[in-house]
Amino acid sequence: MTETVAEPVTVQILGKEYRVACPEEQRHALIASANLLDRRMKEIRDTGKVVGGDRIAVMAALNITHELLTLKDQQADMDKRIQALRARVDSALDKEAEGH
């Protein structure tokens, strides 16, 4: 069995370069994540309401985390709806099978 080697990937966030060790199969996801974070931090910085890299990073992290939790809640609601629909379909199919 071969071990996945984590090669360093250089990403740029708010004008600074960061080298992050990352397995090859996760490289694309890391770069996409860094690009999203960079874009969000620039948006916050450009409003002029938040000053300082640390504060901008925290605000971006809070915004992204809020979006993630909202999506997870929506997914959980959707999963419940799908289960309810499956139960209704199964019940209808059982009634149909009993009728024949």
Alpha-carbon span 43 to 21, nearest angstrom:
27
CATH number given to 6-98: 3.30.160.880
Q: Identify the band that residue 96 occupies on the pLDDT scale cut at 50, 70 and 90.
A: confident
47-66 mean pLDDT: 95
Q: Across residues 23-31, what is the average pLDDT?
A: 96
Q: Name 31's Cβ contacts closer than 8 Å, sequence gap at least 6.
A: 9, 11
Percent of all residues in the chain with a pLDDT value above 90, rounded to a whole number: 85
pTM: 0.75
Measured in degrees and rounded to the nearest 5, phi and psi for residue 17 equal -90, 140
* 2 band by pLDDT with thresholds 50, 70 and 90: low
Decide: residue 40, CB within 10 A, 0-12 exposed, 13-18 middle, 19+ buried.
Answer: buried
Q: Which amino acid is at 76?
A: A
5 three-state secondary structure: coil
- Residue boundaries of the structural domains of the chain: 6-98
